[in-house]
Structure 1
């Protein structure tokens, strides 16, 4: 009889606990899209109120795409904010985009779920909803992770995998942007050697896919029997991965084509005692512009990931001086010295790459080879060929 009463009491308490949970909180993970801004996927929080039937999605990835967007993003001054939308509108948007969506229902007790919803509601207040976006450390995924750690505290155990392959921040980016070679090139040109360090399992969670996997491994401890963080999971939108069609117009083909052109010009120029200076002035002028962009991102923005960018070794702002110097009828002594400087800098870039100080985009290798080839050729032949040309003209 006592056992029956005890069992009935346990069942009654379980049911009362079940119905006391007004909120169901879940993590939504959207698979990568086909554009650069969506290629890393997305994370959001779904809150279903069982009592009122309200079904809302809290989204930390909202931004205003206005004419000043790119300027603010380049300067590291872009603010994102927390928005709230009905679940049906959110899922309809990703259905339109063709991106699959997964849901992980969190195994929170009443107090934890209520605390998380309160956290979101406080964050949604006008004075709190905006934050300064940082791709690696403060984005739509890390905001959710940080909230969970605040709510659960020491009760959350991530259970990071042992023996997992070590990856740098750049390696992780490359996994997603490889189908977009121009976007991949732009990222590698803009971001410095600070992202060529190993990312911890927690740091990998800046990517929604990795955070989804981390949630699947995590456990809640200390408030009763240890239980998984995720109670259940399902696919809300079962769509095939977004396919990005390959294009032959990519930096690999283009830059190797430029390199072959300069190799041919150098060979013909050596045989016919010609310099083809116009090509060099254009080439070094473009590198100068790239170098200016690298310097601006390094020293004049609030980005943390654009520091110590050694692309500056081959794309140097002062290369623009050669646009003027190579056009001189009688080359000044400094031109030859600068050509030697450019050659040494390009060689240093190769050494930097080999030693692993910074991983450059593979497509820039042919450009570095052009710098080495042409600076070497012009260093030894600029004055000689121009003197011969003046002699023939005279």
Structure 2
């Protein structure tokens, strides 16, 4: 969940460096957040709504510390990535991404989100003076160059979970058990599809690449990898106040700027019908063109087999050579795998009504068994990958390819 575009990243990094130097300046030189007593510190959770760009679709958040005496307010966030890092693109592909913490004056940080039309919400939190001072000290420690980087993960270590964990640490661990006791509303897959639905092509790619890890049931602590979920869930949290009495963690909530963008849907789109129809249409085109336009049939079939093979290679790489654990053990490998490349000669032979080889026939049979296995996996207990849309897409196409190539076999190959 990057906090900004490339240009803004450089600006934010520069501002963060200036703020870091200012905050760490000796206490006698200035008054403000860095050296204010805890009783003067006001702690707030700032939540920014989703943006239009794909890396902004998950939203963003930050912790704001405000010195009520000097009026200084600083936001700390964990959503900055560094393109200048050595091997950044390779590390990104391998799933070994490093993100940065950043700090900026609140008005500077929030100005960007207001300008682009994203909502900005502040929740004033009930921190005791000691807790506020502990949080401030931890954030300043985390902002130091040797501590500013962290290993990023989409679902378990991102801008929202780092903010959540910092709040929980300062609160003495009271946040986590309360959120873990509350059930989540959606899975990782459903939340991803919901938020990416306005970029349909990217939503489909992500859904295809996600494995069973993304379909596990979540509690509110896990689902608060999303800023908007964390914003909602902490309103149900209670803490012990100075007088020893329980009180809500959120003292008040204020919308600083309304959302002016198209909001994401409240539920994840159901991909089963669209992909099932797409599979049926493609299979029908293969059958029709095989009879009336053999060249078109061969080209269409080749496109499918090449894409299926490419997807299979990509899924294998994600599983075996990267740390993208949300893509491991992907059952879509049964539907799209590198064996598809070896069926290309058979496809072009069938264009001329020529019999395919026994090897190709065996590969087709193996592929049909793989599709059957993918279907049967949904009868197993426990967490099963929710890849029904891709099953419904691939099944009619593989059946069409198998039926066409089967018709070319000499009768001796298939005794009655």
> Paired residue for 1:183, among 202, 212, 235?
202
Matched, 1:225 2:225: no
Matched, 1:21 2:48: no
How well do the aligned residues superpose, as a CA RMSD in angstroms? 3.3
Q: 1:2-151 alignment to 2 at 5 Å?
A: 21-65=39-83, 71-151=90-170
> Paired residue for 1:370, among 380, 397, 400?
397
Cα deviation, 1:61-91, whole Å, max 9, x if unaligned, reads 1113579655433311111110111112211
Q: By how many angstroms is 1:257 displaced?
A: 5.3
Counterparts in 2 of 1:163 and 1:80: CA distance versus 1, 3 Å: closer
Asked whether the 8 Å contact 2:174–2:239 carries over to 1, the reply is yes
Aligned to 2:310: 289
Asked whether the 8 Å contact 1:326–1:335 carries over to 2, the reply is no
User: Residue 57 of structure 1 aligns to a residue in which SS?
Assistant: strand
In structure 1, runs of 5+ residues without a counterpart are: 1-17, 386-394
User: Residue 325 of structure 2 aligns to a residue in which SS?
Assistant: coil
Asked whether the 8 Å contact 2:42–2:65 carries over to 1, the reply is yes
Counterparts in 2 of 1:148 and 1:332: CA distance versus 1, 3 Å: same
Distance 2:300 2:275 in 1: 15
Distance 2:188 2:276 in 1: 25
In structure 2, runs of 5+ residues without a counterpart are: 1-35, 266-270, 412-416
User: Residue 37 of structure 1 aligns to a residue in which SS?
Assistant: helix
> Paired residue for 1:206, among 222, 225, 233?
225
Q: By how many angstroms is 1:361 displaced?
A: 6.8
Distance 1:73 1:161 in 2: 30
How many correspondences in the alignment? 364
Distance 2:293 2:63 in 1: 68
Aligned to 1:237: 257
**TM-score, scaled to structure 2:** 0.77
Counterparts in 2 of 1:278 and 1:255: CA distance versus 1, 3 Å: farther
Cα deviation, 1:88-117, whole Å, max 9, x if unaligned, reads 221111012211010011111111101000
Counterparts in 2 of 1:316 and 1:20: CA distance versus 1, 3 Å: closer
Asked whether the 8 Å contact 1:339–1:376 carries over to 2, the reply is no
Distance 1:257 1:202 in 2: 37
Q: By how many angstroms is 1:271 displaced?
A: 8.5
Cα deviation, 1:205-254, whole Å, max 9, x if unaligned, reads 11111111121111112752222211221011123343579xxxx99879
**TM-score, scaled to structure 1:** 0.81
User: Residue 373 of structure 1 aligns to a residue in which SS?
Assistant: helix
Counterparts in 2 of 1:69 and 1:39: CA distance versus 1, 3 Å: farther
Indicate the larger mover: 138-147 or 222-231.
222-231
Q: By how many angstroms is 1:120 displaced?
A: 0.3
Cα deviation, 1:251-307, whole Å, max 9, x if unaligned, reads 987984574243143146369999943432331111100111111111110122111
Distance 1:222 1:24 in 2: 15
Matched, 1:340 2:365: yes
Asked whether the 8 Å contact 2:272–2:388 carries over to 1, the reply is no
User: Residue 245 of structure 2 aligns to a residue in which SS?
Assistant: coil
Question: Is the radius of gyration larger for structure 1 or structure 2?
Answer: 1
Indicate the larger mover: 70-79 or 337-346.
70-79
Counterparts in 2 of 1:255 and 1:323: CA distance versus 1, 3 Å: farther
Asked whether the 8 Å contact 1:310–1:349 carries over to 2, the reply is yes
Aligned to 1:389: none
Aligned to 2:8: none
Indicate the larger mover: 18-27 or 174-183.
18-27
Indicate the larger mover: 215-224 or 118-127.
215-224
